Amino acid sequence: MGHERSLMIDLSQASFIGPKPNDREAFTKLPAELRDLLFSVNGFVLFGGGLHVRGVCDAPVWHSLGRVWHGADALGQLYASLHPDDIPFAQDCLGDQLLLRDGLVIRLFGETGEINETGIGLTEFLESAQEDPDEFLSLPILRRFEREGGTLAPGELLSVYPPLCTQEASDGISLRAIPTMERIKFLADFAHQIAAVPDGTKVRVIVR
């Protein structure tokens, strides 16, 4: 049954498909629905980088679910809003994280650390994302980047300046592709720094 569900995802336009699973520790801890999916296809990148579903593998590092779940780059250590059992199975092109919590998909907004509960499970989320990616993912920003001549390679995310949560972003943003973990760590640091800042406060963003 699980294998039949996973085949409903159209991978014909995938820019990356994960290698054979080799992270047995992470694999055995997954809920059955996600385990079946990753047994069938060990993660992938779709929509030109608009959706990255992680795999249970050691390499490439940017594709490793275990590394951002309980490993060296655990998202639960970067964001106070996450629980230890939240499973960071995917992300969008901006570095907003998609996690499973109690069997349902939640979205972590990387810039603020805020959580949005989608109220739907893994299969429904993936099917909905495929049917209407503009609604479920950040594709309009990615498409703009592509129209400007940019390409998001597997292992990269979009850096947005100024951050989208700032008022200044309404005056225009610049986009560039950067390594996945560089983007995630910048977002987590930014979210931590603005956590106690009241709305309307002026902040200075320093990009190193």
Query: Can you tell me the distance from the alpha carbon of 56 to that of 20, in angstroms, rounded to the nearest whole number?
Result: 8
**Bridge partners, 179 (sequence order):** 156
For range 139-164, the mean pLDDT: 96
Q: What is the pLDDT of residue 208?
A: 52
Mean pLDDT across the chain: 90
* DSSP one-letter code for 141: H
Q: What is the pLDDT of residues 74-96, one digit of tens each?
A: 999 999 999 999 999 999 999 99
Predicted local confidence at residue 126, as pLDDT: 93
Residues 62 and 27: beta-carbon distance below 8 Å: no
CA angle 191, 195, 198 (to 5 degrees): 125
Instruction: Pull the structure tokens for residue 18.
Output: 């994960």
| pLDDT over 90 at 7, yes or no | no
Statement: residue 204 has pLDDT above 70: no
Average pLDDT rounded to a whole number, residues 48-62 = 97
Q: Tell me how far apart the 2 most distant CA atoms of the chain are, in Å.
A: 52
- Cis peptide before 31, with omega less than 30 degrees from 0? no
The residue with tokens 């050691």 is 58
- Is there a contact between 101 and 83 (Cβ–Cβ < 8 Å)? yes
State the residue for tokens 């993936």.
126
Residue spans of the domains in the chain: they are 1-198
CB 95 within 8 A of CB 107: no
* Rounded mean pLDDT, 5-11: 64
Kindly tell me the number of DSSP H helices and DSSP E strands found in the chain.
Answer: 9, 9
Q: Residue 8: pLDDT above 80?
A: no
pLDDT bracket for residue 10 (50, 70, 90): confident
